[in-house]
Amino acid sequence: MQGGESPSSAGVSLSSSPVDLIATSVSSALYDAATSLEAQQGNGARAPLAEAPTSVTTDGDPGSLADISNQTSAAPACTNDSEACAVADAPNYEAFEDTGASLDLKIWELKIAQDFINELHTASLDDSKLSQAAIKRLRNTPRTATPETMDPLLRLSIEIYLATENASQKMYNEIRDAFHRCYPNDKLLSYDEVKNCLAELTGIYPLLEDMCPNSCIAFTGPFKKLDKCPLCGAARYDEHKLAASGGKEKVGRSFYTIPIGPQVQALLRSPQTAEHMHYRKELIAQITETMKNAHPPGFMEAYEDIFHGSDFLAVHEWGDIGPDDILLMLSIDGAQLYQNKQSDCWIYIWVVLNLSPDLRYKKKYVLPGSFIPGPNKPKNLDSFLFPGLHHVAALQKEGLSLWDAYDNRTFLAALYVALATANSPGMASINGLVGHHGGHGCRVGCPM
């Protein structure tokens, strides 16, 4: 939490940093490693941790944790600087799904999670894949309100673009040329112009990242320099196209991340939405007044939103969360897109808690975070969440420049990840616990 530590309770986290989403899984892995050792000793006595697997890196740096070599395995140690070392020496992931996970694997996962945390601590907008123009907008938000009525030619350009989204750019250009032959005095936007206009109106600036062909990991954070998946050994790029092009054509599977910052800026450029975003500020003033005049003091008759909770009220009273700051909830779930074929897909969204409960869950205000294609469930979800959390961490350091179109005011806001939610299988991937099929269930919040 910026400006001081904040309290938290089981199932609710008001710690603002995205680092904590990964740190939770680290603490769980550390607990598992210790209990695994106790079981191996057989007498309940806690033995010192075994030596962690040695790291092997692409640049020969023994301090990096991107590639972990399992010293207890029978495989020979790597002697070169190839990324293949990580693939050969990474622990066998499949053997440790729910029970009996080996200590080597848990230490490996622990170190990789710590690597992700370290990179979030040093996150910067300048390190992201956003264009320089997009970064400039994040630091100096445009002061142009979203038009209530749209120019007819602009609307037509957008409608043609959306209607041909599954077609080629050539198709859009041919329709545009045909329109101009019929109406030479009216000009539609070019393909690039309408694309940039949509990005400005919606704040959608997609980032493309490589991923394992089998959906094990995303090549981000400590995995970003690898050429093979450290869990299944699959090549990052199509080896035939890579060889045929002399190493120039790097084609592989990828997924999209939609950074949250530009989307929040776009929300507040609408006068109507900007007015709705004042809900939290107005509710807190009302709660404060109610508690001040209550008998006994501090008593509330109804708890209707997260902002009535003691965790939030405490950090608000401490001044950690200001009246203009943005509170977010991350929600992730998996889905099968087609009934009769393998089509797993994971999606996470951002819910803006500054909006009232009757608005924040409507499609108009729910903001996309990422789309992770199958064919399988991700084995290291941290690597897929990392680009979005890296963006949030960078904005937490610099602040997000916002213009409120309702009261015509520019200010710098902090972003807070108040909650991370999922169903039982998804939450196990986020918090590092064993999931709903585990023998012991929750090991943090309750004595199950």
CB within 8 Å of 282: residues ≥ 6 apart: none
Instruction: Tell me, yes or no, whether 161 and 263 share the same domain.
Output: no
Domain extent, residue 92, equals 19-130+205-431
Best CA proximity match to 86, nearest among 72, 64, 68, 71: 68
Instruction: Report the 10 Å Cβ neighbour count for 275.
Output: 14
Q: What values do phi and psi take at 188, rounded to 5?
A: -85, 160
Confirm whether 278 is domain-assigned: yes
Instruction: Tell me, yes or no, whether 263 and 218 share the same domain.
Output: yes
Question: Any bridge partners for residue 218, and if so which?
Answer: 211
Instruction: Report the 10 Å Cβ neighbour count for 80.
Output: 8
Instruction: Tell me, yes or no, whether 213 and 354 share the same domain.
Output: yes
**Least confident range of 38-47, 156-165, 345-354, 435-444:** 38-47
Confidence check: pLDDT of 161 > 50: yes
DSSP 269: T
- 85-110 pLDDT, tens digit each: 444 445 444 443 444 455 666 788 88
Instruction: Tell me, yes or no, whether 173 and 209 share the same domain.
Output: no
Confirm whether 112 is domain-assigned: yes
- Strands 68-69, 367-373: pairing is unpaired
Domain end among 202, 219, 234: 202
Instruction: Tell me, yes or no, whether 171 and 209 share the same domain.
Output: no
Q: What values do phi and psi take at 84, rounded to 5?
A: -60, -20
Q: How far apart (Å, rounded) are the C-alpha atoms in residues 385 and 62?
A: 26
Confirm whether 439 is domain-assigned: no
| pTM of the predicted protein model | 0.76
Domain end among 138, 168, 202: 202
Mean pLDDT of 348-356: 96
Mean pLDDT of 434-443: 67
CB within 8 Å of 174: residues ≥ 6 apart: none
CB within 8 Å of 240: residues ≥ 6 apart: none
Task: Report residue 19's pLDDT band, with 50, 70 and 90 as the boundaries.
Answer: low
How many independent structural domains does the chain possess? 2
pLDDT of amino acid 41: 47
Confirm whether 7 is domain-assigned: no
Confidence check: pLDDT of 2 > 90: no
Confirm whether 146 is domain-assigned: no
Instruction: Tell me, yes or no, whether 73 and 112 share the same domain.
Output: yes
Domain end among 202, 232, 264: 202
Confirm whether 443 is domain-assigned: no
- 291-303 pLDDT, tens digit each: 888 777 767 777 8
Instruction: Tell me, yes or no, whether 91 and 171 share the same domain.
Output: no
Confirm whether 225 is domain-assigned: yes
Confirm whether 145 is domain-assigned: no
**Least confident range of 43-52, 112-121, 248-257, 374-383:** 43-52
Task: Report residue 23's pLDDT band, with 50, 70 and 90 as the boundaries.
Answer: low
Instruction: Tell me, yes or no, whether 190 and 244 share the same domain.
Output: no
> Diameter of the chain by CA atoms?
87
- Identify which has the larger pLDDT, 404 or 344: 404
The H or E element containing residue 417 is: strand 415-422
Best CA proximity match to 137, nearest among 409, 402, 404, 398: 402
Instruction: Tell me, yes or no, whether 42 and 94 share the same domain.
Output: yes
Instruction: Tell me, yes or no, whether 234 and 159 share the same domain.
Output: no
Query: Contact at 8 Å (CB) between 215 and 376?
Result: yes
Instruction: Tell me, yes or no, whether 112 and 53 share the same domain.
Output: yes
Instruction: Tell me, yes or no, whether 169 and 311 share the same domain.
Output: no
- 414-432 pLDDT, tens digit each: 999 999 998 877 787 887 7
Task: Report residue 14's pLDDT band, with 50, 70 and 90 as the boundaries.
Answer: low
Confidence check: pLDDT of 49 > 50: no
